[in-house]
Structure 1
Amino acid sequence: MTISKKPIILNLSAALFDVDGTIVDSTGPIGDFWRAFAKDKPYFDPEYVIDISHGWRTFDVIAKFAPDFAKPDYVTQLEGSVPDLYGSTAKEIPGSIKLVSDLLKLEREYSLNNQRIAIATSGTYLMATKWFKILGLEVPKVFITAESVQKGKPDPEPYLLGRSSLGYEKKGTVVVFEDAQAGIEAGLAADCLVIGIASTYNKDEVKSFGADIVVPSLEGIHVDGYDKESDTFRLVINDYSFANERVFQLQT
């Protein structure tokens, strides 16, 4: 179908965000981490791991490719050191700081009972919150990490937990912001609308992963108020390369 270049306007109940590749560009730091991890492990191919594991929990990667080191406390400590050791090359996914901040402001501006944003990342709490500190972002109250779930993405558990924690387990339209195949599949399986960001992969790859909307970054997306009657906030998407029929059916 031909995509209209008119803005996409959606009334949404809540927004769930991945972190790496969605809020922060940590590609460089994560790559440096895996290469350092592999130095004394000739059986561990860091380039292959970097290529195939985006969106996975670090514990799941190590359990698969270096199982002798798959000890939860060790992995948590190891991953938590990534921002400290390699974080100098991390940067914002364009538009993420403003979008996340504006969603966090909704609770205060409209005296809502709860925030309308949650984090659902495959990273550990220690690492993910350090990325927020580096970017100068407030940490949302609902912050789901690798330690929060039994099964990581592409299993929908992280996003199902995000929905239920915000009070939208079986109601409302919830959007997921993701960049990786595992996360996009998890968001769709949790019955969320998925906005795929072409940050880690190109737009055609992100589309092939099943994203409902494909955007180049978060710069062309903004929050446009809250409607008390429907208990939804309005999200306006001005810059996108693809949107499927499901999206146009949801438009206001």
Structure 2
Amino acid sequence: MTVSEPIVININAALFDVDGTIIDSSPSIAEFWREFGKDKPYFDAEHVIHVSHGWRTFDAIAKFAPDFAIPELVKELEGSVPDKFGQKAVEIPGSPNVVRQILALKTPDNKQKVAVATSGTYDMAVKWFKLMNLERPEVFITAESVSKGKPHPEPYLQGRERLGYKDADKKVVVFEDAPAGVKAGKDADCLVIGIASNFDAEKVKGFGADIVVPDLTKVEVKGYDAETDTFKLQINEYTHASEAALKLASQA
């Protein structure tokens, strides 16, 4: 059931996943895995597609085709995905607009309040942003940026730190769609807004997301308050809100 009573929360910063959160690249990634497995009888592409959403491509190849787990090779393979299969990808409704709104917030020291933390490689993520004509945040964490990918919290912990909000009392929101990413966000002490793009809303709730939405068309960004170093997110429609989310909303 969709709830239309708005939730408003004050946050210091936002961290975005890319695939399934800003752009629905799943059809493109699926075609990549099918092509990758064509000459590998032992490689079950459909199984990998099913279980690896939110993983780094290197981690999936290391598990299911370890002979090909060569960093430069994986980087080249993944970087070719938007070029070969980009026509199958579409924007997640509302997500690019929310990113643009947060990028437009003005702070006294001219620091941005948004970062990307994706399991994708730099080359692939950059190409997705170019396809969407979307400015890249200055803090742009990709598969190469971390030693441990999601579900380990390192990508989001690094995002918090690089934006200047690593302390536990700072309120940081993660936008995610995959079980690995939701766990990473929660373990980084972030409030997680789960987008039901690749999984249905009940599954996203089951992953542990604090708020579940179908997309970000009903999410608004309110102005920056220099005194508190926060801005407001208003979620106008959602299917689930945790006690933690409602508690933050009561403090807004």
TM-score (norm 2): 0.97
Task: Provide the C-alpha distance between the structure 1 equivalents of 2:105 and 2:91, rounded to a whole number of angstroms.
Answer: 22
Shift of 1:89: 1.2
Shift of 1:41: 0.3
Secondary structure of the 2:60 match is helix
Asked whether the 8 Å contact 2:3–2:237 carries over to 1, the reply is no
**2:238 equivalent in structure 1:** 240
Residue type of the alignment partner of 2:192: V
Asked whether the 8 Å contact 1:179–1:201 carries over to 2, the reply is yes
Residue type of the alignment partner of 2:130: K
Secondary structure of the 2:223 match is strand
**1:23 equivalent in structure 2:** 22
Is 1:119 equivalent to 2:119 in the alignment? no
Asked whether the 8 Å contact 1:3–1:243 carries over to 2, the reply is no
Secondary structure of the 2:104 match is helix
Asked whether the 8 Å contact 1:215–1:239 carries over to 2, the reply is yes
1:28-177 equivalence runs, <5 A: 28-107=27-106, 110-170=107-167, 171-177=169-175
Is 1:207 equivalent to 2:230 in the alignment? no
Shift of 1:228: 1.3
Q: Which 4+ residue blocks in structure 1 deviate beyond 6 angstroms?
A: none
Residue type of the alignment partner of 1:134: L
Shift of 1:242: 0.3
Percent identity over the alignment is 61
Residue type of the alignment partner of 1:123: G
**2:222 equivalent in structure 1:** 224
Task: Provide the C-alpha distance between the structure 1 equivalents of 2:71 and 2:198, rounded to a whole number of angstroms.
Answer: 27
Task: Provide the C-alpha distance between the structure 2 equivalents of 1:111 and 1:223, rounded to a whole number of angstroms.
Answer: 18
Residue type of the alignment partner of 1:174: V
Task: Provide the C-alpha distance between the structure 2 equivalents of 1:79 and 1:228, rounded to a whole number of angstroms.
Answer: 40
Asked whether the 8 Å contact 1:99–1:223 carries over to 2, the reply is yes
CA-based RMSD:
1.2
Task: Provide the C-alpha distance between the structure 2 equivalents of 1:40 and 1:148, rounded to a whole number of angstroms.
Answer: 30
Shift of 1:85: 0.4
Specify every segment of 5 or more residues in structure 2 that has no aligned partner in the other structure, as ranges: none
Specify every segment of 5 or more residues in structure 1 that has no aligned partner in the other structure, as ranges: none
TM-score (norm 1): 0.97
> CA offsets, 1:145-195, max 9 Å, x none?
000000000000000000000000014100000000000000000000000
Task: Provide the C-alpha distance between the structure 2 equivalents of 1:152 and 1:184, rounded to a whole number of angstroms.
Answer: 12
Could you tell me which of 191, 214, 222 is aligned with 2:189?
A: 191
Secondary structure of the 1:106 match is coil
Task: Provide the C-alpha distance between the structure 2 equivalents of 1:207 and 1:8, rounded to a whole number of angstroms.
Answer: 17
Asked whether the 8 Å contact 2:9–2:232 carries over to 1, the reply is yes
